[in-house]
Amino acid sequence: MPNTRRTAYFNARLLDPATGLDAPGALLTEGSRILDCGPTLFNDGLPDGVDAIDLGGLCLAPGLVDMRVTIGEPGEEHKETILSASRAAAAGGITAVAMLPHTEPVIDDEAGVEFVARRAREAKLVKIFCYAAITRKLAGVDLTEMGLLARAGAVAFTDGGHAVADALVMRRALSYASTFDLLIVQHPEEPRLAEGGVMNAGEVATRLGLAGIPREAEVIMIERDLRLVELTGARYHAAHISTGEAVEAIRRAKRRGLRVSCDTAPFYFALTEVDVGEYRTFARLSPPLRGEMDRRAIVEGLRDGTIDAVASDHTPQDQDSKRVPFAQALPGAIGLETMLPLVLEQVHRGHLSLLQGLDLMTRRPADILGLPLGRLAAGAAADLVIFDPDIPWRVDVDQFRSKTRNSPFDERPLMGRAVRTIVDGRIVFDAS
């Protein structure tokens, strides 16, 4: 039997970036869908036969959509499973994630896409979508069957943390993708320039005696790809950009009318290369943390809309991968449970409005991936986050739901976090 149970959330601060709604009001769900919402709903009193939840003025927004998440399953379940990642996402107010394909084996065929869908259904928590690889085994040579993979459920195509370095292969991928109006997502880093580097090239790397990755490695790859986008007319997305030059390149491309978008991760607007400190391996990332001027450029790109989305770039690594000398550590950090609070940090500092910050994590990533999510509207999925934007807390990675603890934000004081997360009308996280 279909679920027709009705739940009324009232005395809420409704926030819907898609419509610009920011007002006191209420929302009514029936089963897995939103039935109605708005500032005047229930002005004449609550209807009979509903489960009524008084939010006491807390914020009620569409559930967050995280478009860049690494999960260890299949192949590295000791780092993260679909279940553990789902729990961490729910605790962070995230109701849908897009999983990268660099698993073992790589998600480069229909069986891989179907495996992820099956395991997500078994977990019964957040919605998990997956990318498929652009090239077989992420080798950068032979293209995958993108048309068939899209039909199987792949939301877009990327080689994950590997750049498609060969210009001819990227041209073919963009041409193939444009035939089916599919999205190509690039890790923008010229691999030969980045080879051997472990942090941002510059004074800090020199002082620490570490090999650097020049900032130019990012923008060179983006500029090349933008020429190929112009040639093919394809849809293109630059992932986790970290430099001011990359922001400016995307800004110019948008002005020219190219079908391009980009995202960044909280690491690149909340930290700088200085946070590597005394060889803190939890701050070894790909791309690496940059300088203060780049951090400011990323914030400005978020503010003016050049950067389309914020993704957690959640990359779990176990202790054996991080408790080693800096140059030997694997790059990456977890981020599912800190994405919302770190965007709220920018809101509290006056760099973004609350609706701007939420838009970067709801409607805009959903639209990039073609998902019917990220909105408060009658008939939409009842995927919701209830959060307190002003509650102070301190990051404690030992309390996280993720299997790993590699966060550079451990012990950082923050303000604001998710209180309850709802997926298809079901409560999947409750902090009370």
- Measured in residues, the chain has a length of 432
Of the candidates 186, 177, 65, 63, the one whose C-alpha atom is nearest the C-alpha of residue 129 is 65
**In a 3-state reduction of DSSP, which class is residue 199?**
strand
Within a 10 A sphere around the Cβ of 296, how many other Cβ atoms?
14
56 exposure class (CB count in 10 Å sphere: 0-12, 13-18, 19+): exposed
Q: 253-289 b/e with 16+ CB inside 10 Å = b? A: bbeeebbbbbbbbbbbbbbbbeebeebebbbbbbbbb
Around Cβ 334, how many Cβ atoms within 10 Å? 29
Look up residue 275 and give its amino acid. D
DSSP 17: T
- Classify 240 in phi/psi space as left (phi over 0), alpha (psi -120 to 50) or beta: left
Q: 236: which strand partners?
A: 184, 260
CB distance 345 to 415 below 8 Å = yes
C-alpha 13/C-alpha 24 separation (Å) is 4
Residue 363 region by backbone torsions, left for phi larger than 0, else alpha for psi between -120 and 50, else beta = alpha
Q: Are 35 and 382 in contact (CB under 8 A)?
A: no
Tell me which residues are annotated as active site: 313
Sorted by sequence, the CB contacts under 8 Å of residue 133 that are 6+ apart come out as 101, 102, 106, 107, 108, 144, 157, 158, 159, 160
Query: Exposed, middle or buried, 207 (CB in 10 Å: 0-12/13-18/19+)?
Result: exposed
> Which residue(s) pair with 10 in the sheet?
54
* CA–CA gap between residue 419 and residue 432 (Å, rounded): 7
Yes or no: say if 431 and 419 are a contact pair by the CB < 8 Å rule.
Answer: yes
DSSP 182: P
190: DSSP letter: -
